[in-house]
Amino acid sequence: MRELVEWNAQDNEIKAKVCKHCESPQNVLITRTALEHLGLISLTKDAVAEAVIEHINLKRRMYTDMMDNKDIAYIFKNCDVDGTLLYVKVKFVKRGETESMLILSAHSDRRWTNG
């Protein structure tokens, strides 16, 4: 996992791209798992998108990570979604010629352990 930094132009482009997608809800998809997580705490996809924009605008930490399938994901730890701190993970996906952003996870920041 690597933190995106302000002084890196490519990192700033990624942040701008995430915000652009969040500003167009029709370009944001959400997995069933993330919806189930949100259903447990009564939040919406739009609330997550708004929180991600605020997270970036407030210059809070954002990370990038390579998933097991080699896709690149972007992670927002302690993302404040309507007063609830969540671990949010997104990635970009192509649907034909259109690129969308997929919310993979939106849940409380739990610690995973091996074994």
pLDDT digits (tens, 9 = 90+) for 45-60: 898 999 999 999 999 9
Mean pLDDT of the 86-105 span: 91
> Which residues, 6+ apart, have CB-to-CB distance to 40 below 8 Å?
none
- Structural domains of the chain, with CATH: 2-107 (3.30.2310.40)
Query: What pLDDT, in 10s, does the model give residues 77-95?
Result: 999 988 889 999 999 999 8
pLDDT-derived band at 110 (thresholds 50, 70, 90) equals: low
Can you say whether residue 96 is alpha, beta or left, with left for phi > 0 and alpha for psi between -120 and 50 degrees?
Answer: left
Which residue type, as a one-letter code, is found at position 54?
A: E
At residue 10, φ and ψ (nearest 5 deg) are -65, -40
- The dihedrals phi and psi of 94, each to the nearest 5 degrees, come to -100, 135
